C-alpha cells in the first residue's frame, strides 16, 4: 500500500462544475500536507499548503482530517485552465524535510 | 514564482558521455532535492541535501552523484550516461520561512535523452 493514495482519475468535468479530490495518507505522524498542480511535461507547482483548520484560496478549498488521515481538495467553478494533474503530498513522518508524493489525479475540464 | 533554475533544459547525448545537470536557487534555501520523473509517472526522489557538504541518496537508487559545495548550487552528475537514464530530472528546494511547512519549489526540469 502506498503511503499517499489518490484516485488516479481521470476526472472529466464540464466548465463550471465543482470537483473534489480525495487523498489518504498512511502515517499518522505526518505533519505537513500540500496540494501541487502539474501540467503535462512541466514541473509541479505548489497550489496550496493544507492547514489543520482547512483553508481556502479563491475557488480552491483544502481540508485535512487527521483522525481519518484524509486530505481533500475542492475546486469550484472549474475552468478549462484547471486541467492538470493534482498531486497530494504529505511530509515524511520521521523527518518532515522529505515529502511523500501521491501518484496524482488527472483532471480534464471540458468546454 | 520560485527562483530556482536548471540547465540545460533539454539534453540529447550519446551513451558513455559524462554529463552534469545544473541546479541553482537564489532563495537561500538550505534543503535541495533531485527527483526523476518519466512521462505520466510518479516523482521519485533520487538525492537530497540538507545543507552544505550534506548529501543523501533518495528512495530510488540512481547511478548519479551530487555535490553541495555552496548553498545555492546542487549539481547532479552522471559519469557514463546510458539509455536507461533517459528521463526528466527535476530539482527542488525548500527552507523554513516563518515557521511554515517545508513546501518544495521546483525548477523547470532537464529533459535528458541518451541515445
Strands B87-94, B110-114: parallel, antiparallel or unpaired by DSSP? antiparallel
CA distances from B97 to A31, A93, B30, B101, B103 (A): 16, 20, 11, 8, 10
Does B12 score more than 60 pLDDT?
A: yes
Phi-psi sector, B51: left (phi>0), alpha (psi -120 to 50), beta? left
Q: Give tens-digit pLDDT for A2-15.
A: 889 998 889 999 99
Does A95 score more than 70 pLDDT?
A: no
Among B102, B105, B106, which would you mutate to test the A interface (most chain A Cβ atoms within 10 Å of its Cβ)?
B102
- Please provide residue A100's backbone torsions phi and psi, each rounded to the nearest 5 degrees: -105, 120
Radius of gyration from C-alpha coordinates of chain A: 13
B-chain residues within 8 Å CB-CB of A99? Answer: 102, 104
Mean pLDDT of chain B: 91
Q: Give tens-digit pLDDT for B40-59.
A: 888 999 999 989 999 999 98
Residue B1 has what pLDDT? 59
Q: Are A100 and A31 in contact (CB under 8 A)?
A: no
Does A96 score more than 60 pLDDT?
A: no
Closest residue of B to A33, CA-based? B101
**A99 in contact with B at a CB cutoff of 8 Å?**
yes
Q: Answer yes or no: do A43 and B106 touch at CB < 8 A.
A: yes
For residue A103, give the nearest of B42, B50, B105 by CB distance.
Answer: B42
End-to-end CA distance of chain A: 36
Amino acid at each position: 500500500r502506498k503511503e499517499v493514495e489518490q484516485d488516479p482519475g481521470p476526472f472529466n468535468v464540464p466548465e463550471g462544475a465543482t470537483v473534489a479530490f480525495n487523498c489518504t495518507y498512511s502515517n499518522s505522524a505526518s505533519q505537513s500536507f500540500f496540494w501541487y498542480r502539474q501540467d503535462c511535461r512541466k514541473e509541479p507547482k505548489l497550489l496550496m499548503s493544507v492547514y489543520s483548520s482547512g483553508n481556502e484560496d479563491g475557488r480552491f478549498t483544502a481540508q485535512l482530517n487527521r483522525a481519518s488521515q484524509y486530505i481533500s481538495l475542492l475546486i469550484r467553478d472549474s475552468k478549462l485552465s484547471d486541467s492538470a494533474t493534482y498531486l497530494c503530498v504529505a511530509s515524511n513522518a520521521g523527518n518532515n524535510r522529505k515529502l511523500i508524493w501521491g501518484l496524482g489525479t488527472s483532471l480534464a475540464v471540458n468546454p | 514564482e520560485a527562483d530556482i533554475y536548471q540547465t540545460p533544459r533539454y539534453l540529447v547525448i550519446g551513451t558513455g558521455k559524462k554529463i552534469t545537470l545544473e541546479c541553482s536557487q537564489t532563495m537561500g534555501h538550505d534543503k535541495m532535492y533531485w527527483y526523476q520523473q518519466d512521462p505520466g509517472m510518479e516523482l521519485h526522489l533520487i538525492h537530497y541535501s540538507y545543507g552544505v557538504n550534506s548529501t543523501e541518496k533518495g528512495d530510488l537508487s540512481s547511478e548519479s552523484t551530487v555535490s553541495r559545495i555552496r548553498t545555492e548550487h546542487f549539481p547532479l552528475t552522471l559519469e557514463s550516461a546510458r539509455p536507461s537514464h533517459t528521463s526528466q530530472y527535476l530539482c527542488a528546494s525548500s527552507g523554513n520561512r516563518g515557521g511554515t511547512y517545508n513546501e518544495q519549489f521546483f525548477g523547470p526540469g532537464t529533459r535528458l535523452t541518451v541515445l
